[in-house]
Amino acid sequence: MVESVYTTDLKSVGVSHVGSSPTSRTSLMKSKNIFLENVLSLEECQSIEIKFFDVIKNGWKGYKDDYRTNSISLYDPYIALGIDQNSIIAKIDQRVKEYYKDNIVYSHSFLRMYKNNSQLALHTDRKGLDVTLSVNIGGLESWPICISNVYTESDIDTYSSKKQNDELTFKNDHSVFLTPRGCGVACYGNNFPHWRDIFECRDDEYVLQIFYHWRIIS
C-alpha cells in the first residue's frame, strides 16, 4: 500500500512539487499533504457511482454554483444514496488520523461530479472543514489537484481581495497530485489554498470525487 506524507522533505510518491522551497511559508504549520492509496475499494467506488447515476437518470439535477462551473454536487452522498457509511467512514477516519492524530473529528462528506470545462477555482475550505480528503470515485484520473504550500488564515474564495492579491504567491509554490480511482489526497484545506485547472474532456466524460471533512478540536 502506497502512502506518501508530504511535509518539508518532499518525499514524492504520486507527488510533484512546483516552485520554491516550502521554507518560504509564513507559518510553522506544515502543509502535510498525504496521498492515500486504496481509500475505497473499486467495488465501493462502483457502488457509489452506479447509485449516483441512477439518481441522475431519475431526473435529479443536483446543486450547481458559479464558483465551480459545470459541476453538480450532493451533500452527504452515503446518506443521500442509501449506502451504509459506518464501516467505510470508520476505516477512512482511522487512516487519516494516523497522520493528523486524534485532535480531528469527522464531520461529513460531499460528492461532486465535474464535466467538460469544469474548474475548481483557488480557494480555502471554510472554517470547520479543517482537514479534507479528496477521493476519486470514478471517471477520468488525469485531472490533478494543486495544493499551495503557502499558509494562510484568510478565507479565500472567488471574490476575496486576498485571493486577487495573493493568487500568484499561492500558485508559485504548490504540490500537484493525481488520484487514481479509489485513491485520495488529504490536506489542511482551511489553511492551504487549493485548486484544479480547467478540465477538458468529451461531453460523455467526467470526474467524480468525494470530499471527506474533519474539524480540528482543541
Residues that bind Fe ion (CB under 5 A): 125, 189
Q: How far is the CB of 82 from Fe ion (least distance, A)?
A: 26
Nearest residue to 112 (alpha-carbon basis) of 91, 131, 86, 138: 138
Q: Could you tell me the three cell numbers for 13?
A: 510518491
Nearer to Fe ion, 55 or 178 (CB): 178
Q: How far is the CB of 59 from Fe ion (least distance, A)?
A: 28
Q: How far is the CB of 134 from Fe ion (least distance, A)?
A: 8
Q: How far is the CB of 156 from Fe ion (least distance, A)?
A: 10
In degrees rounded to 5, what are phi and psi of residue 83? -105, 130
Q: How far is the CB of 204 from Fe ion (least distance, A)?
A: 26
Q: Are strands 207-216 and 104-114 parallel, antiparallel or unpaired?
A: antiparallel
Segment holding 172, helix H or strand E: helix 161-172
Nearer to Fe ion, 86 or 196 (CB): 196
Nearer to Fe ion, 37 or 157 (CB): 157
Nearest residue to 116 (alpha-carbon basis) of 180, 50, 71, 176: 71
Residue 209 three-state SS: strand
Closest residue to Fe ion, Cβ-based? 125
- Give dist(CA 79, CA 86) in Å, integer: 10
Which residues pair with residue 4 across a beta bridge?
35
Nearer to Fe ion, 184 or 189 (CB): 189
Nearer to Fe ion, 47 or 167 (CB): 167
